[in-house]
């Protein structure tokens, strides 16, 4: 087993020029903070990691594994042609909220609607990054360009604060073919913040998850069930 430690400052230095333009659209603070770049690491991982690294699983710290993570790695084999990233859906109506203006202007849209037919957005707590596919994908790399980010944020009236998750969500509305959607059991989010903040009527449509949980995600400091 080989462990390689990366210096955060070095990574940030490489990241900043690539993701600087998108930070103002997807960061919590106003403006672009150099230190915020690390929240966009996954977006440009293929440009930063050595070429010989072809696949990476990136995960949040607030997870509890109920199965061997090797089984998650096998999900790379299920990527359809053209997909570059494996990611689970967001399990709260956060993007129903964020896309309110676009939804109001497009009443028939699936943007922000709950599964199985809607596009609820993504949660970046568990990510499968096919770095080789990300490097090869002309479309994905075009979407990192500042002009493209600007174009999409204007189209969707998008202003987020969740870093890479917002970028993937917005891109997924436009180009779902870039993503392999992981089953909710691979990222069973537990946060219920939006249930108490104006969305109790539709909350369960987003939050329900059938099947045996393989990874619990205690997002927004939610306690994870004991065994």
Phi then psi for residue 167, to 5 deg, are -60, -50
Q: Is the pLDDT of residue 189 over 90?
A: yes
Which band of pLDDT confidence, cut at 50, 70 and 90, is reported for residue 4?
confident
pLDDT over 70 at 30, yes or no = no
Q: Residue count of the chain, please give it.
A: 227
**Tokens (6 digits) for 31:** 């403006």
Interatomic CA distance for residues 40 and 165, integer angstroms: 9
With cut-offs at 50, 70 and 90, classify the pLDDT of residue 34.
low
Question: Could you report the per-residue pLDDT of 39-93, keeping only the tens digit for each?
Answer: 999 999 999 999 999 999 999 999 999 999 999 999 999 999 999 999 999 999 9
Domain ranges in the chain are: 6-93+121-215
Q: Is 31's pLDDT higher than 90?
A: no
Residue for token pair 């109506």:
93
Helical spans, DSSP H, in the chain: 8-26, 45-48, 69-73, 94-98, 100-105, 131-136, 138-143, 146-156, 164-174, 203-207
Cβ atoms of residues 154 and 146 within 8 Å: no
pLDDT band at 36 (very low <50, low <70, confident <90, very high): confident
Percent with pLDDT over 90 in the chain? 92
Q: Is the peptide bond before 201 cis (omega within 30 degrees of 0)?
A: no
Mean pLDDT of 163-173: 97
Specify the higher pLDDT residue, 2 or 219: 219
Residue 32 predicted with pLDDT over 70? no
pLDDT, residue 35, reads 73
- pTM for the model stands at 0.96
Task: Report the CATH number of the 6-93+121-215 domain.
Answer: 3.90.550
The tokens of 176 are what?
């779902």
Asked if the model's pLDDT at residue 156 lies above 90, the reply is yes
Residue 223 pLDDT level (bands cut at 50, 70, 90): very high
What does the mean pLDDT of the chain come to?
95
The token duo for 194 is: 């939006």
Q: Between residues 33 and 142, which one has the greater pLDDT?
A: 142
């Amino acid at each position: 087993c080989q462990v390689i430690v990366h210096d955060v400052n070095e990574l940030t230095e490489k990241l900043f020029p690539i993701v600087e333009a998108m930070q103002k659209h997807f960061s919590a603070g106003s403006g672009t903070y150099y230190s915020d770049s690390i929240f966009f690491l996954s977006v440009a991982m293929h440009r930063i990691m050595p070429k010989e690294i072809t696949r990476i699983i990136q995960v949040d710290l607030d997870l509890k594994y109920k199965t061997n993570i090797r089984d998650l790695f096998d999900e790379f084999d299920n990527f359809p042609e053209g997909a570059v990233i494996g990611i689970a859906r967001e399990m709260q109506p956060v993007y129903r909220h964020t896309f309110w203006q676009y939804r109001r202007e497009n009443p028939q849209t699936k943007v922000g609607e709950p599964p199985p037919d809607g596009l609820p957005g993504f949660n970046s707590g568990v990510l499968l990054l096919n770095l080789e596919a990300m490097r090869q994908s002309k479309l994905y790399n075009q979407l990192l360009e500042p002009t493209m980010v600007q174009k999409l944020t204007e189209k969707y009236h998008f202003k987020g604060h969740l870093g890479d998750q917002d970028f993937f969500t917005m891109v997924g509305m436009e180009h779902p073919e870039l993503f392999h959607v992981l089953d909710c059991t691979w990222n069973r989010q537990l946060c219920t913040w939006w249930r108490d903040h104006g969305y109790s009527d539709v909350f369960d449509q987003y939050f329900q998850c059938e099947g045996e949980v393989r990874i619990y995600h205690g997002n927004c400091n939610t306690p994870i069930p004991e065994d």
